[in-house]
Structure 1
């Protein structure tokens, strides 16, 4: 998965001269928390977040009258509150790399540039949607877990048994099992119509199938032998 396949391209942008009143109005209207500031020719100049606007409102609020506060805020523009040192990505960046950058830098949006021009935006909400799609999350599916050793061939084994039973796996995910070195959670999602059969087939094949949360997963660990 690449950023260019998943980013928003119908962008809402503002100029440096846009008042913070107008910026707040646009955020509320479009239900967004980031506004990209450009020069009108797709060159990114900065980014304004809802946090920037809240700070702008709060900073003089304790020392000014309502009239004075309104006057001061009317003079403020995007150029006064925007972040100029913007972290950006590119369309050919992988989704996981974009997620890592956003997580490490504690930012909620990553503007995407190509040839130094703004072409898109990806946000934490977009990443959550991508994750849910990749996991096959839906009301007509259910997941189970196999707590397996880090060994060659485990996924091939599972795939073989499912193929023999004519069962389609909707999604597959490997996640380390906290507190148990060398063990992984092999998370499989199936359509509801196949879930019970898949569970039975895997149990018959010798797997310890975990279908619900267990405080102690130890009894479900794949045998070391």
Structure 2
């Protein structure tokens, strides 16, 4: 999946000479947490978060200086330089940026111009869809040897039952490089026949690990 498939192309921006007061209004009225700061060519030159604005805003005990502080320009508080991504970057690569850098959002840039924004919420929404948890389904985890061809081998068990697989994930088995876990989500009202088939084929189920049922 590509960034352009999940990004929000309708991004609200401000210029570096906009004021903190303007940023407060934009954040409040649009219920957003970040504002990219751009120049007249839509080049991203900074970013301002609701926390930046809150930290820069005067205390209610400083009424005399409040108006003056709120008229400070955003270039005085914006973060820069800004890490950006491209619309054709893969979502999983962007997810690693969110994790490594502890970002809450990243601007999306094509030809040096802002074309969208990806937020933590966008990433979580995408994860929900990639894992298939957005549709009613049954969850099955199978421990398998880490060897070529094992995924289609296990998937053929579902195929014999004409069971629709809505998602497949692969992740390591603890710290043992000789095994991995295949996580299937399947659309069926009764997963027990498939579960029994997997056990009869000699596969070890991590989930469900204590269910048996009648064959059909």
Question: Normalization by structure 1: what TM-score?
Answer: 0.84
Question: Normalization by structure 2: what TM-score?
Answer: 0.87
Give ranges in structure 1 of 5+ residues lacking alignment.
215-225
Q: CA offsets per residue over residues 69-122 of structure 1, 9 Å max, x none?
A: 413322223222111210111112111221222222221111111111111111
What's the counterpart of residue 170 of structure 2? 174
What's the counterpart of residue 133 of structure 1? 129
Superposition RMSD in Å: 2.1
How many pairs were matched up?
Answer: 210
What's the counterpart of residue 3 of structure 2? 3
Contact 2:164 2:188 in 1 (8 A): no
**1:30, distance to aligned residue in structure 2 (A):** 2.3
Counterparts in 2 of 1:186 and 1:78: CA distance versus 1, 3 Å: same
What's the counterpart of residue 51 of structure 2? 51
Give ranges in structure 2 of 5+ residues lacking alignment.
211-216
SS for the counterpart of 2:164 is: coil
Return 65-74 or 201-210, whichever deviates more: 65-74
Counterparts in 2 of 1:212 and 1:206: CA distance versus 1, 3 Å: closer
Alignment of 1:119-158 (within 5 A): 119-138=115-134, 140-158=136-154
Q: CA offsets per residue over residues 9-31 of structure 1, 9 Å max, x none?
A: 01111122322233123223322
**1:156, distance to aligned residue in structure 2 (A):** 1.3
- Cα distance in 2 between the residues matched to 1:212 and 1:158: 16
What's the counterpart of residue 27 of structure 1? 27
What's the counterpart of residue 92 of structure 1? 88
